[in-house]
């Protein structure tokens, strides 16, 4: 089943807040509810929230009372503003909304109803493209994994983080499906535990060998020489190759370099933001301190204690061995090679 999809004129998604304890679906009937589902992380992961926002735009078009093409475009623009505010860091969200707004502007609609229907087709296309893109990424990256390797992974970048298949975990899945046998260390990924809850749930189902480790243990295994490769995702990649990803990624990158371990981010081209020349310009989400003090309602410190909760960090491109995309593995100099890959060139 896809993470998010359109069914009977509304949006359905897997409730990622409940996995692994419960598998349930959520039904959403308006774009404001879609924005909330992104904000509260019912759906999360950069490509997944991009596709979700696209379906949110289709809902907005459907709900529009406008009788003119111009009126529908205005309603789409207002809905897009709300959707874009739901989470700030993953650029796939802005990318999907902007793509639909640009398509609404360019599409030669016969009338308002035609444009509304076209918005659903375009959203569906974004979702379908995401699956195809991830499968290509898997093929590109799988060559890096060898029999007997131990691969370290951070957060969740699997089918749940995308429409299906996933990015870094998609590479791992492809290599496994090719018959390679290796082991995966999953950082638990505090405070929301995407590694322990979601990545482990996915690898369980795929039958891929794994262990969940505390985030604080990855350096221990790297220094012992057990980790041969690090694969993880990205929420936004700046033009110079600096990238934002789940909090904790930066320290993994530093430790990988210190220990001479190849360190790759895996992402579709829709995660590349060439409008930013450096990772310092990427907006970083700060979430509520309750996620740190009481993860999933289990208090580990009194609620009035002080805490900070950055959801992402930025890893400088100098730590990267490469960026695995559907257009090949992009390597330094990223300022030169990222624009080529983003333009569709195979690198």
Query: According to the binding rule CB under 6 A, does residue 47 interact with ligand MRU?
Result: yes
b/e sequence 213-247, b meaning 16+ C-beta within 10 Å: bebeebbebbeeeebbbbbbbbbbbbbbbbbbbbb
Cα torsion 308, 310, 316, 319: sign: positive
Other CB atoms within a 10 A radius of the CB of residue 300 amount to 10
Does 235 participate in catalysis according to the annotation?
Answer: yes
Angle 173-177-179 from CA coordinates, rounded to 5°: 125
Among 28, 58, 79, 162, the residue binding ligand MRU under the rule CB under 6 A is 162
Q: Which of 157, 174, 240, 327 binds ligand MRU (CB under 6 A)?
A: 157
Rank residues 233 and 328 by Cβ distance to ligand MRU and give the closer one.
233
Residue 7, C-beta contacts closer than 8 angstroms, at least 6 positions apart: none
CB-nearest residue to ligand MRU:
233
Tell which one of 35, 46, 54, 100 touches ligand MRU (CB under 6 A): 46
Q: Kindly tell me which residue out of 233, 239, 248, 328 binds ligand MRU, with binding defined by CB under 6 A.
A: 233
Site for ligand MRU contains 315 (CB under 6 A): no
Interface with ligand MRU in residues 188-207 (CB under 6 A): 194
| Candidate list 13, 60, 90, 145; residue touching ligand MRU; CB under 6 A | 90
User: Which tokens is 160 given?
Assistant: 């749940």
Nearest CB to ligand MRU, comparing residues 166 and 239: 166
Residue 172 buriedness (CB in 10 A; 0-12 / 13-18 / 19+): buried
Q: Could you say which of 130, 164, 215, 235 is catalytic?
A: 235
Q: Is 50 in the site for ligand MRU (CB under 6 A)?
A: no
Residues engaged in binding ligand MRU (CB under 6 A): 44-47, 90, 155, 157, 161-162, 166-167, 194, 233-235, 245-246, 311
Supply the residues annotated as catalytic.
235
């Amino acid at each position: 089943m896809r993470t998010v999809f359109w069914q009977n004129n509304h949006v359905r998604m897997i409730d990622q807040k409940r996995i692994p304890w419960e598998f349930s679906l959520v039904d959403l009937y308006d774009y404001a509810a879609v924005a909330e589902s992104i904000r509260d992380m019912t759906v999360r992961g950069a490509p997944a929230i991009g596709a979700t926002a696209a379906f949110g735009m289709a809902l907005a078009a459907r709900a529009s009372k406008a009788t003119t093409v111009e009126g529908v475009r205005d309603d789409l623009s207002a809905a897009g503003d709300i959707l874009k505010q739901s989470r700030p860091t993953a650029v796939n969200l802005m990318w999907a909304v902007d793509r639909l707004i640009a398509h609404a502007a360019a599409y030669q609609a016969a009338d308002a109803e035609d444009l509304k229907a076209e918005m659903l087709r375009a959203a569906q296309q974004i979702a379908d493209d995401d699956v195809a893109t991830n499968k290509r990424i898997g093929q590109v990256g799988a060559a890096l994994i060898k029999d007997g390797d131990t691969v370290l992974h951070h957060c969740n970048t699997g089918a749940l983080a995308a429409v299906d298949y996933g990015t870094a975990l998609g590479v791992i899945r492809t290599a496994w499906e090719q018959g390679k046998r290796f082991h995966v260390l999953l950082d638990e990924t505090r405070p929301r535990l995407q590694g322990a809850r979601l990545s482990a749930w996915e690898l369980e189902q795929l039958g891929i060998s794994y262990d969940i480790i505390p985030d604080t243990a990855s350096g221990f295994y790297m220094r012992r020489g057990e980790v041969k490769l690090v694969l993880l995702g990205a929420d936004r990649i700046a033009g110079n190759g600096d990238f934002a990803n789940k909090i904790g990624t930066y320290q993994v990158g530093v430790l990988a370099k210190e220990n001479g371990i190849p360190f790759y981010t895996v992402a579709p081209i829709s995660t590349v933001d060439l409008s930013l020349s450096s990772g310092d310009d990427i907006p970083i989400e700060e979430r509520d301190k309750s996620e740190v003090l009481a993860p999933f309602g289990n208090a580990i410190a009194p609620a009035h204690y002080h805490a900070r909760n950055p959801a992402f960090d930025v890893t400088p491109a100098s730590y990267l061995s490469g960026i695995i995309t559907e257009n090949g593995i992009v390597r330094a100099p990223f300022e030169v090679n990222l624009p080529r890959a983003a333009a569709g060139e195979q690198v």
